[in-house]
Amino acid sequence: MEEERIGNFTNETSRIKGFSDGIFGFAITLLVVELIGILHPESENGLIKSLLHHWQSFFAFIIGFITILVCWVNHHVALEYIRKIDTKFMWINGSLLFLVTLTPFPTAILASYLQSEREIAIAIFGFNYVLISIAADRICAYAYNKHLIEEDKREFYYSYKLIYRYGIFYCLIAFCFCFVSIVVSLILYVILFGASAVPKELASIIYKFTMARKK
């Protein structure tokens, strides 16, 4: 009976992971559409000049790709310890996937208005980070509060919960700096990329620090 129950949990989580991975892959594919659009010749300029003229499209593509990749890494880690799901969790996970598929849109805005209206373009892109951080927090908080994860991993999983909870405030600060200093906001986003790229290592540091304080 226990083997059957574990098998059902594995099947549930594997299906939602597989579906989510497909959405992440689709979102990354959408980013390429913006690059393909610049290949349509608008003048008699050569290929190299045309590509250099649209450098902001390549810049936005790289930023958008890193964003979705980082989201995928964190989503994978967040679901790693989850052994069962319910309908509400599916909807919460779906809200994150919605924002991921929406990412190519602020990326396209960033590519088109990076030079003319950079503050607003970066702010729109940054606001998408705020929404994603809220969705990521809801996934971890719900899984933790509803005991959807392994009981012996709850204490460590709490570190993930803290990361995404504080991540909301960090993204809000970075978003506000878009209207004050573009340089500062970009630095904050680079730090965010670096920290978010290794969520398990960051959670381990927080976990060890928490355990040390309890001793």
- What pLDDT digit, counting tens, does each position of 68-121 carry? 999 999 999 888 888 888 899 999 999 999 999 999 898 888 878 877 888 898
Domain range holding 151? 2-214
* Count of domains forming the chain: 1
Q: What is the pLDDT of residue 137?
A: 94
Half-sphere exposure (Cβ direction) of 197: Cα atoms closer than 13 Å: 9
- CA distance readout (Å), 178 to 34, 59, 197: 24, 18, 22
Tokens of 111: 């590519």
pLDDT in tens, 20-63: 999 999 999 888 877 776 666 555 666 677 666 777 778 888 88
For residue 10, the model assigns a pLDDT of 56
Distance from chain centroid for Cα 180: 24
- Six token digits for residue 64: 């958008």
The residue among 139 and 10 whose pLDDT is bigger is 139
| Cα 51 from Cα 53, distance rounded (Å) | 5
End-to-end CA distance of the chain: 39
Do 107 and 64 contact (CB within 8 A), yes or no?
Answer: yes
The answer, as to whether pTM is greater than 0.85, is no
The pLDDT value recorded for residue 117 is 84
Averaged pLDDT score across all residues of the chain: 84
Q: Taking residues 126-151, what's their average pLDDT?
A: 92
pLDDT for position 82: 87
